[in-house]
Structure 1
Amino acid sequence: MHIHPLITDSATLANLCARLSNSPFVTVDTEFMRESTYWPDLCLIQIANSEEAAAIDPKARDIDLKPLLDLMTENDEVLKVFHAGGQDLEIVHNLTGKTPYPLFDTQVAAMAMGLGEQIGYSNLVETLIGEKLDKGARFTDWARRPLDKRQIDYAIGDVTYLAELFPKMLERLRKTGRGGWLDNEMERLGDPASYANLPELAWTRIRMPSRKPEVLGRLKAIAAWREREARSKNLPRGRIAKDETIADMASHPPREQSDLARVRGLSPNWAQNDIGARLMNAIAEAQPLSEAEMPPREDRKPGLGKEGALIADLLKLLLKVRSRDADVAPRLIARADDLELLAAGVRDLPLLTGWRNDIFGKDALALVEGRLAFSVRNGKMVMSALEAE
């Protein structure tokens, strides 16, 4: 494989992208910093196919990333391959409002190969290729210039090994007939809505035990205010206000701006400055949460109850057994929420269709409906059909 020198000019990048646009797939990775910012600071982009690999410096003066971003989001003939690509996809979405398409994530694919739900990249490389990765540059300051050769070699290694990994994984998935199992997971990963971070939905990421509409309405308003402040200042959300501080103000709202001086986690200066005034305006304008927006209760399932919760536990046990038998990660078959919905009587579920139904769903439904029983024989757990009464 030909490894290019670090690309720092638009013409070289455009030529690279023109060649890569004829490839069946490209492997992609990014290096970024976000410890002190709201938006990830993109520091390096690595890309490869089976013949060549390069690192691109997005901080290079006047470099035009459009050919690369078009390759990512506009060219649907080239498959984009990532490993645990959520944050890489977020960066592309921040730059374009779109996500790479079509998409393949090797960490997700590993679930269908019995390699675990969140296998790390180095472990995947060692398992399938037999190479141990140099982790020495993992915690480097990618924003600092110039980058040295070891840093660049480390970064490019991520996509060159990925270009070797992907065909091996694809071949195994084809042989086992499991490629189609991944469609829903890849579609969910590539959904642009997952990366929008809408201020109006920021409150849903904060744990709040109260179910009072007025409290949750204030939580929604304050969380949206924090999201906008963090964006405008390009600071992490926690640098504006911690989650627990927001939850506390939602439950016990300050009446006057001067009361902010006594709120734990806020600067006393907020009692008289502009940011404190904007916070108080957000609290004053908060409306009780509508019935349609109210979060489901802790069991989150209609009519689940205590008996239903026990049935859900049995379903989790069955899922563990069936996923072990099929050598596939349980999360690829069904999520805990789906099991609780099934226990509560819901039947319109993905786990009751297609391959999921064959591996797990039909037995899960039989268990819920009293047509399947667990037993222990010779020290092993077995399941047997029950005769109808």
Structure 2
Amino acid sequence: MLDTEFVRTRTYHPQLGLIQLYDGQNLSLIDPKVIDDMSPFIDLLKDPSVLKVLHACGEDLEVFHNSFGCLPHPMVDTQLMAAFLGHGLSTGFAALVEQYLEVELDKSESRTDWLARPLTQKQLDYAAADVFYLKPLFSLLLEKIEQVGWWKAAQQESELLAVKRIKTIEPDLAYLDIKGAWQLKPKELAILKPLAAWRLKEAVKRDLALNFIFKESDLLTLVESSLFSIGAMEQAGLDKRSIQRHGARILSIVKSAKMLPVDQYPDKITRLMDQPGYKQRFSLLKDEVKKASKKTGLATEFLASKKQLNQFISWVWNHKRDEGKRPDVMQGWRLDVLGRALEKKL
């Protein structure tokens, strides 16, 4: 059983404060702030003979990847196991422990500063409980999930979560993640693209959350309204501290971007939902998801979220069913349960 406690308020990467381990006999709380050599723990994360069990581990995976350069493998997420048993996709650990073990956990320390030292006994007890009760919960969920035949699928889904959680964002593509960028013209995108790349690189270098470098909304306003002077940015109400710190650099980037030849402008961003026939196709696919939900008892959102259905449509329309870019619904356990039926509909 494996868990972490971390802090992520202003930083780009989560800051690891504590690691909890429990194998049914020994419960360990590891302080990574005082141990220089973490190689035995890293070896455990990589040990193929030891299954690592976590709950709602998305951010934990980021912690491991950032702190140790690897992910726990093999691993399974009990939140995903619970989803295969009919629970909501985001069912919390405390709710499952209360339902299956009839134990009410104290969650009062969930907002604690795990980087502060010394940790109180109450904080240590809270952290220990997260893996102590995970062991019997996992055993119960495993028994139930094997009975209904979803155990292999739960392992596949956990591995898929790991792959998706650790993705490297290319700075040159960061502008595509700016909300509202699709509304901009190619000429404006030519300015937004290097600005978004600079913001991402700066956030990673200084380990600061993106919006603490420069707010996303301010970045879009700057480009949309052509605020290409310090005075114009200040008058428009953009964050003053960010302007003072980065104004000169931003104007330098804008100046270079405006010299870009027209044939090197990024293409206008075309949203999938704006393509002809999208709404009808999406509705057809949604009906197939509902049918699969009734047949399997799994929640529609778990079988295929809106994002996953869009990923599938994009795979068919834009990527011409490229085998190297198979969407979630066309691989693993979803392929037989849903994927083949969706493919027939599109």
User: Percent of aligned pairs with the same residue?
Assistant: 32
Partner of 1:280: 251
The one-letter code matched in structure 2 to 1:313 is: S
Greater helix share, structure number = 2
Tell me if structure 1 keeps the 8 A contact 2:78–2:138: yes
Question: Are 1:147 and 2:116 matched, yes or no?
Answer: no
Change (3 A) 1:323 1:119: same
The one-letter code matched in structure 2 to 1:93 is: H
Question: Are 1:329 and 2:264 matched, yes or no?
Answer: no
Partner of 2:324: none
Change (3 A) 1:267 1:65: same
1:24-43 matches, within 5 Å, as 27-43=1-17
2: CA distance, partners of 1:350 / 1:146: 44
Tell me if structure 2 keeps the 8 A contact 1:222–1:250: no
Tell me which of 2, 18, 26 is aligned to 1:44.
18
Tell me if structure 1 keeps the 8 A contact 2:76–2:159: no
TM norm structure 1: 0.74
Tell me if structure 2 keeps the 8 A contact 1:28–1:47: yes
The one-letter code matched in structure 1 to 2:24 is: S
Tell me which of 235, 255, 265 is aligned to 2:228.
255
Question: Are 1:181 and 2:164 matched, yes or no?
Answer: no
Tell me if structure 1 keeps the 8 A contact 2:203–2:209: yes
Partner of 1:67: 40
Change (3 A) 1:311 1:230: closer
Tell me which of 35, 51, 54 is aligned to 1:79.
51
2: CA distance, partners of 1:39 / 1:351: 30
Change (3 A) 1:236 1:168: same
1:138-287 matches, within 5 Å, as 138-191=110-163, 194-208=166-180, 209-267=182-240, 270=243, 275-286=246-257
TM norm structure 2: 0.82
Instruction: Tell me the CA shift for residue 328 of structure 1.
Output: 1.3
- Structure 1 range deviating more: 136-145 or 228-237: 228-237
Q: How many residues align?
A: 332
Partner of 1:102: 74
Instruction: Tell me the CA shift for residue 51 of structure 1.
Output: 1.6
Instruction: Tell me the CA shift for residue 198 of structure 1.
Output: 4.2
1: CA distance, partners of 2:38 / 2:329: 41
1: CA distance, partners of 2:77 / 2:236: 44
2: CA distance, partners of 1:185 / 1:136: 31
Instruction: Tell me the CA shift for residue 266 of structure 1.
Output: 2.5
Instruction: Tell me the CA shift for residue 295 of structure 1.
Output: 4.3
Tell me if structure 2 keeps the 8 A contact 1:218–1:283: yes
2: CA distance, partners of 1:219 / 1:265: 16
Change (3 A) 1:342 1:267: closer
The one-letter code matched in structure 1 to 2:183 is: S
> How far does the alpha carbon of each residue in 1:209-260 deviate from its partner, in whole angstroms, 9 at most, with x for none?
4152232333232222222223333332222221111111232333345544
Greater strand share, structure number = 1
Change (3 A) 1:242 1:325: same
Change (3 A) 1:176 1:342: same
- Structure 1 range deviating more: 103-112 or 203-212: 203-212
SS in 2 for 1:44: strand
Change (3 A) 1:356 1:199: closer
- Structure 1 range deviating more: 177-186 or 331-340: 331-340
Partner of 1:310: 280
Tell me if structure 2 keeps the 8 A contact 1:101–1:190: no
2: CA distance, partners of 1:214 / 1:283: 11
Tell me if structure 1 keeps the 8 A contact 2:76–2:155: no
> How far does the alpha carbon of each residue in 1:301-342 deviate from its partner, in whole angstroms, 9 at most, with x for none?
6x4x2xx51342243244235314422132342233554556
2: CA distance, partners of 1:360 / 1:141: 43
Instruction: Tell me the CA shift for residue 69 of structure 1.
Output: 2.3
1: CA distance, partners of 2:113 / 2:172: 33
Change (3 A) 1:356 1:35: closer
Partner of 2:96: 124
Provide runs of 4+ in structure 1 moved above 6 Å.
343-347
2: CA distance, partners of 1:149 / 1:79: 29
Instruction: Tell me the CA shift for residue 145 of structure 1.
Output: 1.4
Instruction: Tell me the CA shift for residue 197 of structure 1.
Output: 4.4
Partner of 1:13: none
> How far does the alpha carbon of each residue in 1:103-128 deviate from its partner, in whole angstroms, 9 at most, with x for none?
21111222211112111111122222
- Structure 1 range deviating more: 357-366 or 136-145: 357-366
Change (3 A) 1:86 1:201: farther
2: CA distance, partners of 1:289 / 1:187: 38
Change (3 A) 1:197 1:362: closer
Instruction: Tell me the CA shift for residue 154 of structure 1.
Output: 0.6
